[in-house]
Structure 1
Amino acid sequence: MAVPVELAPDYYLTNFRALVDFVMARYEPLLSDGERRFYTAFQALDIDSQRLYVRLLSRKGVPSSAGSLFRRSKLVYAEIDDLPRAAERLVEAGLLRRNPELPLGEYLPLFSKAELLACSSTPLPKTLKRQALELALLEQGADQAVLLDALLSTESLLAVQAAEHFETFKLCFFGNLRQDLTDYVLRDLGLYRYEDYPLDRRHLPFQSRAQIDQHLRYYDCLGQMESTLDPGPNMILALAEQLPDGVEGDATLHRRLDRLRLALARQLERLDELEAADQLYRRCTRPPARERRARIAIKRGDIDAGLALCREILAAPHNEAEQVFAESFGYRTARREGHLAGWEPPARYQPPTQTAVLPQAPERVELLAAAYLQEGSFRPQAGQCFYVENSLFNGVLGLFVWDIVFAPVPGAFFNPFQAAPSDFRTPDFYPLRRAAFEQRLAELDSDSLARRVWQHYREKQGIANPLVAWEALPKALLELALARIPAEHWRQLFQRLLSDIAHHRSGLPDLILFPAAGGYELVEVKGPGDRLQQNQLRWLAFFAEHQIPHRVLHVEWQQP
């Protein structure tokens, strides 16, 4: 059993320092004068002041035009020896502002209902809801100054400064503004171990200040999106025009911009602003932009344009899901409109199916099915059966290509705490490593596969990998899988997984059966009332195409 780890009281300061030092060491030439001054000012502080600043920077205060607001009397941190002195030094350093001049409405959320009622110049009902109470106080006109003096007479308010500079440091470190210092805590607690990959300047994702500024602008637009979607199309179009153009070679930024444009265009569709939505979709290079444009064309009655878009997709699909859409939607539209020339109905694969009637039990239906196949009356195929779902083939692939997944591709790694390269779930993952993957797959035979898998299984045990779920890969399962599954089957499976890893890493069968007589079989289990999903059907059709043994097992409950 792992020994519990006790973190130091100011672990957050250690993590903060590591973050800003990492960024300063690698990105200093790209930082602005203000960002460098922020770093220098923080470094010059005594430890108590540093602790207080990081506490407030990481804490959710009351937002205001002067920065996040906190009441000095509400701040209590046991590890800070002299909090008033620390706050004073932060004010002197320009990292906090004391009692900034703000409209009364920005102060009110800091105080309780009881405090606001007590300071009101005219009696107000105690039953007033919070929003109504604040509105009543703001309507007191000239008495607002009296109320403000009363609120601040015994209280000191602190506004955090330079938070926008730390946003730049976070962006450079994490590559996004979603993550925070919690990643360090997980590392310190021993919950995650990460691969060791190079983080020298030439491999870093940001190579220019323009990149940093455009990513920051993207996140500013993303922050505005929620308040933009409801007012109407004009606000949506205005936000779309604020988006940066992107930087050549920065695939991450282009993905993010496409994702935001797709969301804005989809909302325009919902508002029936079809022309505006179509124009915005045209500026997106990734799915489902062409799918949405085809749907818009058909909805507007332009059948030829809609079908032409479906043909364009079929000629060069971005992924399998887009191809499936074009085949199905194009055929249905062509049949309905009498344009069937050149259109064939999509193939429908019917997998081999068996029904098992089992006693109902509290265990998962997949585990009951595994026991049935392994020990039940179906004796000719009795053997060992494992519940693997998506873990086996993803896991073996991850072990086989471990070094390629973590290869120092420029822009793939921002910091030492990544379980995967930043582009792992994107269409860019395979093309950027195509030569290495193709060579590895060309060399694949049973011996090379087993050698690499077992090498990484021993050397990398417990290290985070986006394809490997260690707890789901017992040694006995791996031994059987590597011995029983032909090398050509592994190659075909790996090629499909890598071709679109974001979509293909799920939908794999629940069970793998290793019959006593040899070989193997993949079994998808469906409980009462459950149906095959589209991604599962596509996998089953793929198995049939490549002679990979498979079936569907429908479970019905035995009547009492």
Structure 2
Amino acid sequence: MTAKPLDDPFYYLNNFMQVIDWLEHRYADVLADEEQRFITDFKGLPRESRALLVRLIMRKGIHFRAGKLHYPEIGDIAAAASPLLALAWVDQQMPLAVETLFEVLLKAEILQCLGTAIDQPKGKKSDWLPALSEQFPEARTFRQWCPTLDDQLFSLTIMGLCDRLRLMFFGNLFQDWSEFVLADLGIFTYEKVDFCADSRGLRSREDVDACMFLHHCQQLFEAGEALGDVIGQVNGLTLSNPWLQRRREKLLFQIAQHCERIADFASALTLYRQCRYPGARLRLIRVLERCGEFELALALATQAEQAPESAAEQQVLLRMLPRLRRKLGGPPMKRASPRQMLRLDLQLPRTDLALSVEHYVQAHLTQDEAPVHYVENTLINSLFGLLCWPAIFAPLPGAFFHPFQRGPVDLLNEDFHERRADLFQACLAELDDGRYRQTIRERFIEKWGVQSPFVFWGALNEALLEQALDCLPAEHLKHWFNRLLLDIKANRAGMPDLIQFWPQQKTYRMIEVKGPGDRLQDNQLRWLEFCHEHGMPIAVCYVQWAEQAA
């Protein structure tokens, strides 16, 4: 019987060693001297010392009470820590502010160490901190703070270095070492992609430093630091990596949105003008309008109308242009009337407040010969993801950096489809000759549970899949899939809530559900219009609760 990864008590050390080996193999030319020295020294440590360091790295924070570290496979913590102290990767003399001390001491221990300075010892621990912060402004070592406490404090000094290694491996700092454990447990399974030589998000040492700097700027922004300083630092960064440039554009867009929210319109206008992130142009027009700059807003909106960056932008412009022209004294423009939708009006008794309105409609409409499924965005996306799996997970340069990716890094980039046009064309060609049914069935079994940016495994089952393949025409699937590829970010949401199948007739109907007071959102309106344009059966169901109507 094959041993499971977690059967080895040092599984976490094995995982960390996998990262080290990966970085040495793929990032040797990018590693700084300090990082290369760390890897060499780490490999030379006793196994127990390596294991202790990895345990600390994977825990939250950088300060750890020795008395609270209990790992049977490591044994004597003091002995394991000794080589780490000698390398200065762990420090027992790090000065601590009283605020940090509060994070590592229990209430009784604070009283034991600082009781004479506390006026009301029966108060809450948090109540003591303001007064103690004034009394003890200077930092001290743990032993100086707690001379009577029979314990030691280990403080990690290399967390910044380990964060850089984590960044190089994952290509981001929001994934952490738990990814290995989740994969080992089988909670997450990832597609195995053949990594080519160019499969690196960070191509140079400059990229690593720039990515860390952008992360630092993001933290400063989220912490409420002076916006001018943060913006200056972000703009002062020189980047040659398109992936990092997009990250910077996204951060500038977020800062601009914040400026807009706090009515700092001057800063918002400056940022939106220089920002190339999708949606920045539309926000710029909105802010110009809010500032009364109607002529500038109209000129930019008219220009955008000639070449809208997306269907979402085009939809909003159709509402904005008549309003801007009217504000400048132009003749009123009749707005195009929305297409008449097939409408269902239901009055239903509400017996369980915990159930959503969609579930009530599903239960009301479903029949043995015409089952109704609550699918929303899950079904069409999943069918697309299963059919186009080879194109989505193609090992293109710059798409996959490590073994724990749910999808390609460039998924939402404007050139995502263009870079894989031939691959997607080959996948969609199966819709023309009927091969798609067998391909989707086989891939449903073969890839079950593997992470994907499109496939919602929890919403799929064999019965739903078979009904969909029997009742959804290939022509309609092709229209949906092509629309997804036009703008993945915008078009993979907004799909109708319910789908009803008539397996005997091999037909279907999609149903968008609206409860009392709810209205259709922009992305839903776009999907409804698209379905009408291509002759797809769709209805909007408006629900009133029976007790409200009485």
Shared fold (TM-score, shorter chain, > 0.5):
yes
Q: CA deviation at 1:511?
A: 2.4
Are 1:523 and 1:550, in contact at CA under 8 Å, matched by a contact in 2? Answer: yes
Match in the other structure for 1:307: 298
Structure 2 residue 361 is the aligned partner of structure 1 residue 369:
yes
SS at match of 2:341: coil
Residue identity matched to 2:208: I
Match in the other structure for 1:45: 45
Q: Deviations over 1:248-300 (max 9, x none)?
A: 3x343222212211222223334433222211222210232112221222222
Shift in CA distance, 436/20, structure 1 to aligned 2, threshold 3 Å? same
Residue identity matched to 2:94: P
Q: Distance in 2 between matches of 1:273 and 1:335?
A: 26
- Matching residue within 164, 189, 193 for 1:197: 193
Structure 2 residue 498 is the aligned partner of structure 1 residue 511:
yes
Q: Deviations over 1:334-362 (max 9, x none)?
A: 22332358x66254233110223445454
Shift in CA distance, 135/525, structure 1 to aligned 2, threshold 3 Å? closer
User: Number of residues paired by the alignment?
Assistant: 540
Q: CA deviation at 1:401?
A: 0.7
SS at match of 1:199: coil
Correspondence 1:269-280 to 2 at 5 A: 269-280=260-271
Match in the other structure for 1:297: 288
Q: Distance in 1 between matches of 2:524 and 2:134?
A: 61
Q: CA deviation at 1:419?
A: 1.9
Q: Distance in 1 between matches of 2:276 and 2:188?
A: 35
Q: Distance in 2 between matches of 1:14 and 1:453?
A: 37
Are 1:265 and 1:281, in contact at CA under 8 Å, matched by a contact in 2? Answer: yes
- Matching residue within 491, 495, 514 for 2:478: 491
Q: Distance in 1 between matches of 2:15 and 2:84?
A: 20
Q: Deviations over 1:209-237 (max 9, x none)?
A: 222221111111112112235xxxxx211
Correspondence 1:262-273 to 2 at 5 A: 262-273=253-264
Greater shift, 143-152 or 477-486, is seen at 143-152
Q: CA deviation at 1:52?
A: 1.2
Q: CA deviation at 1:147?
A: 10
**Structure 1: runs of 5 or more not aligned:** 62-67, 230-234, 377-381
Match in the other structure for 1:330: 321
Q: Distance in 2 between matches of 1:46 and 1:146?
A: 28
Correspondence 1:223-242 to 2 at 5 A: 223-229=219-225, 235-242=226-233
Match in the other structure for 2:30: 30
Match in the other structure for 2:460: 473
Structure 2 residue 209 is the aligned partner of structure 1 residue 208:
no
Match in the other structure for 2:68: 74
Q: Deviations over 1:20-73 (max 9, x none)?
A: 221222111111000111111211111211121112112223xxxxxx233333
Q: Distance in 2 between matches of 1:120 and 1:392?
A: 61
Are 1:197 and 1:416, in contact at CA under 8 Å, matched by a contact in 2? Answer: yes
SS at match of 2:173: coil
Match in the other structure for 2:344: 354
Q: Deviations over 1:438-466 (max 9, x none)?
A: 45445631513224323322332332222
Q: Distance in 1 between matches of 2:295 and 2:492?
A: 35
Q: CA deviation at 1:161?
A: 2.0
- Matching residue within 85, 99, 104 for 1:110: 104
Are 1:286 and 1:318, in contact at CA under 8 Å, matched by a contact in 2? Answer: no
Shift in CA distance, 551/77, structure 1 to aligned 2, threshold 3 Å? same
Q: CA deviation at 1:423?
A: 2.5
Q: Distance in 2 between matches of 1:486 and 1:118?
A: 75
Identity across aligned pairs (percent)?
A: 36
Greater shift, 387-396 or 148-157, is seen at 148-157
Q: CA deviation at 1:324?
A: 1.9
Q: Distance in 1 between matches of 2:243 and 2:214?
A: 11
Greater shift, 273-282 or 77-86, is seen at 273-282
Q: CA deviation at 1:171?
A: 0.9
Shift in CA distance, 475/120, structure 1 to aligned 2, threshold 3 Å? closer
Q: Distance in 1 between matches of 2:289 and 2:26?
A: 51
Match in the other structure for 1:403: 390
Q: Distance in 2 between matches of 1:267 and 1:293?
A: 13
SS at match of 1:418: coil
- Matching residue within 137, 144, 147 for 1:149: 144
Q: Distance in 2 between matches of 1:447 and 1:270?
A: 51
Shift in CA distance, 227/479, structure 1 to aligned 2, threshold 3 Å? closer
Shift in CA distance, 347/124, structure 1 to aligned 2, threshold 3 Å? same
Residue identity matched to 1:410: P
Match in the other structure for 1:64: none
Q: CA deviation at 1:332?
A: 1.9
**Structure 2: runs of 5 or more not aligned:** none
Q: Deviations over 1:501-548 (max 9, x none)?
A: 222112212222233444322222334444333222211111111111
SS at match of 1:354: strand
- Matching residue within 160, 169, 172 for 1:173: 169
Shift in CA distance, 336/117, structure 1 to aligned 2, threshold 3 Å? same
Q: Distance in 2 between matches of 1:151 and 1:507?
A: 59
SS at match of 1:430: helix
Are 2:29 and 2:204, in contact at CA under 8 Å, matched by a contact in 1? Answer: no
Q: Distance in 1 between matches of 2:141 and 2:85?
A: 26
Residue identity matched to 1:532: L
Q: Distance in 2 between matches of 1:519 and 1:555?
A: 24
